[in-house]
């Protein structure tokens, strides 16, 4: 038996140090985990301990960190990251060494930013850094959730299992994201087409009919609806720059509102209450929260650290506030259920399932089940909204075009009468 020095995090996320006896480093890590600690550094005593190990790792990884600076600015799409994670999980699960797996993926990666990041990860691992330390050098590609899950997998000796969980998490998150985007895109596209048709008719078609009416009707008064449409057409032609200015002002105002904390809070609160879209946003946020937290805790990340990561990846300020309240309650030794219920944004079913999970000691599994349920809820909500919005948009488009056509057709009746006479 030998003595090992360690630095670890306790259940509250606070750092603690000490010494223990173990047969080897892996045994020391297992002992720490069984005692409820999350080891970050473990090294044999008498040879510089953990501080010496940290210095050696820093020295070995200095070159890789220096080279990685060039790739820090690049971002990649979620789909590219998802494919990389799935491929790496498959290679590591098949028994291929991590270094070899990264080299293989770097050669076949088409995305330049992703290929550069993978090459730097391989350099970092070759230089003595851990895989999680290499990931941490690319925060714009690998977020806190990704880095901490990999770190937990490394410390627990189950990296291939964690990579598979990460791949599953990303695949389900990407699928959910695509469904929500699809639900939003359809009405926006139809609305843009309707506005484009309106502008075309008002600027190019209505003025020609106005000239025809002036010629054929010899100054006779036009019907009320026709006068309104022609007046609107003239206004658009004369004040088009005002319209552009209004749209530009609205766009800039929206960006400024979203950039401020108070504005972002108002926008996110409204987003959860908007008819049709609000329920989908809420269900998506609940699914993201439960799946992220469940995946992190299942992978061995301490609950307080997992809540911090989940809060940062919530995607909605109101949901993030609720998670912050949960974090504060757990830090004080209280239940997860009370702050969730107090937030008034989580449905009773979620509260009930989380409560059962806490009572039975199976909270991570219950959270993942909640996420699966709400993925299905989002599916049903998107299908229902699409089937409802489609006829609404068709009617809206018909009203816009139909009103203009009727306004232009009414004077034609008088012209036909004159021609018949």
Q: What is the pLDDT of residue 74?
A: 64
CA distances from 251 to 111, 266, 277 (A): 31, 17, 20
> What would the pLDDT profile of 158-188 be if each residue is shown by its tens digit?
788 888 888 888 888 888 888 778 777 877 8
- Fold of the domain spanning 169-421: Receptor-associated Protein (1.20.81)
Centre a 10 Å sphere on the Cβ of residue 121 and count the other Cβ atoms it contains: 28
Q: Are 54 and 41 in contact (CB under 8 A)?
A: yes
Q: Are 307 and 325 in contact (CB under 8 A)?
A: no
Q: What is the pLDDT of residue 363?
A: 87
> What would the pLDDT profile of 53-73 be if each residue is shown by its tens digit?
544 444 444 444 444 444 454
pTM of the model: 0.66
Q: What is the pLDDT of residue 248?
A: 92
- Cα(343)–Cα(2) distance, integer angstroms: 50
Q: What is the pLDDT of residue 71?
A: 47
Q: Round the CA-based radius of gyration of the chain to a whole number and report it.
A: 30
In the chain, where the domains are located: 1-47, 169-421
Q: What is the pLDDT of residue 63?
A: 45
Phi-psi region of 46 (alpha: psi -120 to 50; beta: other; left: phi over 0): left
Q: At how many degrees (to 10) do helices 261-271 and 240-259 cross?
A: 100
Q: What is the pLDDT of residue 252?
A: 93
Question: What average pLDDT values come out for the chain (421 residues) when binned by 10 residues?
Answer: 77 71 81 73 67 48 46 70 88 84 88 88 84 86 85 80 86 82 79 85 88 78 87 88 89 89 88 84 87 85 86 85 89 86 87 89 89 87 80 85 88 76 65
What is the rounded end-to-end Cα distance, in angstroms, of the chain? 116
């Amino acid at each position: 038996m030998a003595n090992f020095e360690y630095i670890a995090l306790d259940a509250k996320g606070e750092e603690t140090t000490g010494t223990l006896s173990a047969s080897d480093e892996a045994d020391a890590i297992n002992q720490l985990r069984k005692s409820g600690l999350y080891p970050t550094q473990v090294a044999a005593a008498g040879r510089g301990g953990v501080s010496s190990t940290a210095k050696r790792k820093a020295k070995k990884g200095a070159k890789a960190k220096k080279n990685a600076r060039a790739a820090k600015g690049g971002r990649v799409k979620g789909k590219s990251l998802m494919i990389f994670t799935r491929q790496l999980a498959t290679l590591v699960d098949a028994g291929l060494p991590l270094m070899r797996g990264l080299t293989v993926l770097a050669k076949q990666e088409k995305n330049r930013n992703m290929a550069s990041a993978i090459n730097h990860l391989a350099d970092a691992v070759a230089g003595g850094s851990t895989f999680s330390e290499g990931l941490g050098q690319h925060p714009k590609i690998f977020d806190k959730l990704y880095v901490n899950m990999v770190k937990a997998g490394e410390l627990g000796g189950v990296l291939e299992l964690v990579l598979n969980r990460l791949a599953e998490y990303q695949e389900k998150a990407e699928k959910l994201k695509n469904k929500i985007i699809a639900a939003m895109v359809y009405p926006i596209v139809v609305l843009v087409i309707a506005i484009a048709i309106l502008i075309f008719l008002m600027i190019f078609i209505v003025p020609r009919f106005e000239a025809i009416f002036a010629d054929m009707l010899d100054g006779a008064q036009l019907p009320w609806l026709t006068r309104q449409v022609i007046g609107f057409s003239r206004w658009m032609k004369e004040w088009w720059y005002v319209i552009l200015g209004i749209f530009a002002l609205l766009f800039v105002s929206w960006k400024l509102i979203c950039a401020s904390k108070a504005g972002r809070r108002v926008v996110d609160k409204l987003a959860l209450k908007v008819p049709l879209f609000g329920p989908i946003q809420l269900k998506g946020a609940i699914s993201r929260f439960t799946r992220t937290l469940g995946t992190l805790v299942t992978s061995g990340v301490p609950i307080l650290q997992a809540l911090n990561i989940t809060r940062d990846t919530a995607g909605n300020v109101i949901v993030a506030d609720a998670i912050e309240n949960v974090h504060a309650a757990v830090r004080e030794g209280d239940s997860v259920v009370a702050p969730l219920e107090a937030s008034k944004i989580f449905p009773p079913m979620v509260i009930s399932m989380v409560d059962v999970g806490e009572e039975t000691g199976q909270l991570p599994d219950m959270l993942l089940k909640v996420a699966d349920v709400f993925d299905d809820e989002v599916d049903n909500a998107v299908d229902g909204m699409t089937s409802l919005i489609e006829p609404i948009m068709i009617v809206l488009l018909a009203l816009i075009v139909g009103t203009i056509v009727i306004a232009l057709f009414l004077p034609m009746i008088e012209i036909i009468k004159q021609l018949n006479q």
